[in-house]
Structures are given as C-alpha cells and as structure tokens.
Amino acid sequence: MNHQHIIFVCTRCGSSHQTKQYVAKSGGERLLEKLQTLYHDWMLQDEFSIQPVECMGVCDQACAIAFVCFNKHTYLFGDLPADPERVDNTATAVLDCASQYHAKPDGLLPYAKRPEPLRAGAIARIPPLPPCQ
C-alpha cells in the first residue's frame, strides 16, 4: 500500500457537547464512519488513507475535511453536510473529489468540476512546499 494521499476528517466538527459533556455523535464522526464504510469498495484505497483528526480549527464551518499529498496543493473544505439525511451524499462527493485530486499531478481542483457539496465549501488551497535547497 502506498498511502501518499491523505483525507483528514475532523471528528470534532459539528459536535454536540454541552458543558463539556458528550451528548451525541458529531457530524464529523458520522462523516468519518461513512467514508470508512465506502472506502472498502473504493478503487483508490491503496492510494489514500483516511485519518481522523481532533480539530482543524474551522469550527464555525463544520464539518471539515482536507486532501493532502506531498508535492500537491492541500485543500481544506468545510460546511459539509453531515446530518443523517445527507451524510451518504457528502461522503460519496468527498471520495469523488478525492479521485479528481489523485488524478491531478499538482492537485488543483477546478471549481466547476468538483462535486456540489465541495464547491461552496472550499476554505483554503495551500500551495505545496517548495523543494529544499
């Protein structure tokens, strides 16, 4: 397995905590679970890993995911619907967009070609690190 591509999923996003007491599964946890289920039948599972993270710092734009790969742009997406009625569609869209990301040598994702849930949700496109000198 060559997991050079990573999908980070914020597990705190959309959390339901009240007075630091956990009261329900977060939207990020729901999205992560759905992605992990779909991952087993995904044709790029040998190229990607899906990794949970505690927080990506965009709490006001929950749920958030990021695509990361060495020598490619990094994308951070937020405001992804992860309620029970829409999480299936969102997870499918994330994997579809990840497939596009994989196919691009530089990782650039044209807005018009992204699946609908990831069009308006782009928070950042971070350039790859320059080569070490």
DSSP string, 41-87: T-TTTTTEEEEEES--S-GGG-S-EEEEETTS-EEEE-----STTTH
What pLDDT score was predicted for residue 21? 54
| 83 domain-assigned | yes
Domain of 104, CATH number, reads 3.40.30.10
Is the residue at 40 inside a domain?
A: yes
Q: Are 60 and 51 in contact (CB under 8 A)?
A: no
Q: How many CB atoms lie within 10 A of CB 39?
A: 16
Domain range for 122 is 5-126
In a domain, 131, yes or no: no
Within-domain flag for 118 = yes
Total number of domains in the chain: 1
The per-residue pLDDT for range 50-61, each reduced to its tens digit, is 999 998 888 888
| pLDDT for res 49 | 94
Does 102 reside within a domain?
yes
pTM score, whole prediction? 0.89
Does any domain span residue 133? no
Each residue's pLDDT tens digit, 64-120: 999 999 999 999 999 999 999 999 999 999 999 999 999 999 999 999 999 999 998
Query: How far is residue 55 CA from its own chain's centroid?
Result: 12
Q: Average pLDDT of 11-29? A: 69
